[in-house]
Amino acid sequence: MLLTLMLTTVLLAWLGLEDFASALTFPGRITGAVFLAVAFTTLLGAVGVLDHWIQHSFPRSGLVALIGAFAALLTNVLVLVETVQDGDSKWYLTLFAVLSAGSAWAVLTVWRTVLIPVPKRVAAAVVVSSAIAVANFSYQNLYVPYQRNTVPLITLSMGKAVPGKDGKAFSVPVDITIQNHGPVGFYVLGTEFHAMGLQVPLSPKDRLRKQWQEDTEQWSRSSVVNPLSRREAYQPGELVEAKPWMPIGQWIESSGTFATRLVVQLPMNTPYDQVAFYATASLARKDRLVLQPPLQFVGNSWGGGKISGQVKQDQQKGVDSLIYRARVRENNALDEYTRDARFVTVYWQFGSQGANVTTTVARKGEENRHLPPAEQREMVSRYGLIDLVAGPHVQTLWDIKSQR
């Protein structure tokens, strides 16, 4: 009984101190404070056990031991439930299962030896403390994962196309701005800007209904949906330029703004009639994870080495990838110690049909595992992953090409 209470005290004090000092969310700090309060209660319970069975110097020591044992039981059971739900460690699962059983035995043993002078008051205290513990557990594990999301905003604007001095090329300036009006900051896992050249020949007569049907069949095969047009015949776009527009591994704080200007240059005799611009960003909420620097380059799809089957398949289809990886840490101490280490992997992909950034968070060696939709949603929610997209913003080139 004494061993159970002391082990519970040490564990809860350790977890509570870490959460109270460094949890990423306010509910996490509250959980740390609750753990510290319970640790103090179980410590008093251990002292009560010693006095109740050995020294007999305090007449209410049995009641103190009972309260401490019940606090240990309630907390150990709740932590056990959390470990079963989200944890990976068999060691911690076994430890809290043993402590839960030991706490239950301690409550029953002390209960049989204690005469409660005012049972209604004791029962009220037990109910209130239980309600506080359950409410904190429910808030942390039920409400917080489904709280209202906050999403930054990307804006993309184009300047006027400017011909070069020699008349052989022209430039199109593009301004990209990301604004975070929300209450939390975001890590920048990856960004990309790309420009697609479009040929849009005009039909001398109205296009047939069958041609419209063929246009709509392309909508399910591409991320770009070209409009149905009576005279314009849109062709698949071709990549003109692609590049990151913000350093990876950095962050944008609450109420923060980042702006940059890129310039796309094309020859004056370009075959394209239009250029479509896109800007995307892959972010992670700073209150859901800690990104342990550096987010470093670990390989590419064409250089050999150990890469995923999906990356190899994409490479065979003409889509190349740059791969970056970093260790992530959980937003609270309990998950950090009961879950295996997780890593975020960022794939910066590009090919003739465009560019994009994809991310995943998984255990080492499981980065390539295909996640079912439910697990994918759980991962995105747990780590606050967000993909932002701006575009397409289309610039017509006929006016600038006519200046040749």
pLDDT digits (tens, 9 = 90+) for 344-384: 999 999 998 899 999 999 998 887 778 888 888 889 988 99
Higher-confidence position of 304 and 312: 312
Question: What's the whole-model pTM score?
Answer: 0.84
The per-residue pLDDT for 171 is 92
Most trustworthy range by pLDDT among 42-51, 126-135, 274-283? 274-283
Question: Binning pLDDT at 50, 70 and 90, where does residue 124 land?
Answer: low
| Exposed e or buried b per residue across 80-119, where buried means at least 16 C-beta atoms within 10 angstroms of its C-beta | bebbeeebeeeebeebbeebbebbbebbebbeeebeeeee
pLDDT digits (tens, 9 = 90+) for 183-226: 889 999 999 999 999 988 888 888 888 888 888 887 877 767 77
146 has pLDDT over 50: no
pLDDT digits (tens, 9 = 90+) for 96-113: 999 999 999 998 888 887
Least Cα distance to 99 among 80, 113, 82 occurs for 80
134 has pLDDT over 80: no
Half-sphere exposure (CA, 13 Å, Cβ side) for 180? 21
- Would you call 290 exposed, middle or buried from its count of C-beta atoms within 10 A (0-12, 13-18, 19+)? middle
The per-residue pLDDT for 217 is 82
The per-residue pLDDT for 241 is 95
Q: Which residues lie across from 290 on neighbouring strands?
A: 329
pLDDT digits (tens, 9 = 90+) for 266-309: 999 899 999 999 999 999 999 899 999 899 999 888 876 667 77
Residue 74's φ and ψ, nearest 5 degrees, are: -60, -45
- Would you call 332 exposed, middle or buried from its count of C-beta atoms within 10 A (0-12, 13-18, 19+)? buried
Q: What is the 3-state secondary structure (H, E, C) of the chain?
A: CHHHHHHHHHHHHHHHHHHHHHCCCHHHHHHHHHHHHHHHHHHHHHHHHHHHHHHCCCCCHHHHHHHHHHHHHHHHHHHHHHHHHHCCCHHHHHHHHHHHHHHHHHHHHHHHHCCCCCHHHHHHHHHHHHHHHHHHHHHHHHHHHHCCCCCCEEEEEECCCEECCCCCEEEEEEEEEEECCCCCCEEEEEEEEEEEEECCCECCCCCCHHHHHHHHHCHHHCCCCCCCCCCECCCCCEEEEEECCCCCCCEECCCCEEEEEEEEEEECCCCCCEEEEEEEEEEEECCCEEEEEEEEEEEECCCCCCCCHHHHHHHHCCEEEEEEEEEEEECCHHHHHHCCCEEEEEEEEEECCEEEEEEEEEECCCCCCCCCHHHHHHHHHHHCEEEEEEEEEEEECHHHHCCC
114 has pLDDT over 60: yes
Question: Binning pLDDT at 50, 70 and 90, where does residue 172 land?
Answer: very high
- Name the pairing type of β-strands 186-198 and 238-243: antiparallel
Instruction: Read off the pLDDT of each residue in 322-350 and give the average, rounded to a whole number.
Output: 93
Instruction: Read off the pLDDT of each residue in 239-252 and give the average, rounded to a whole number.
Output: 94
144 has pLDDT over 80: no
Instruction: Read off the pLDDT of each residue in 71-83 and give the average, rounded to a whole number.
Output: 89
pLDDT above 70 covers a percentage of the chain that reads 90
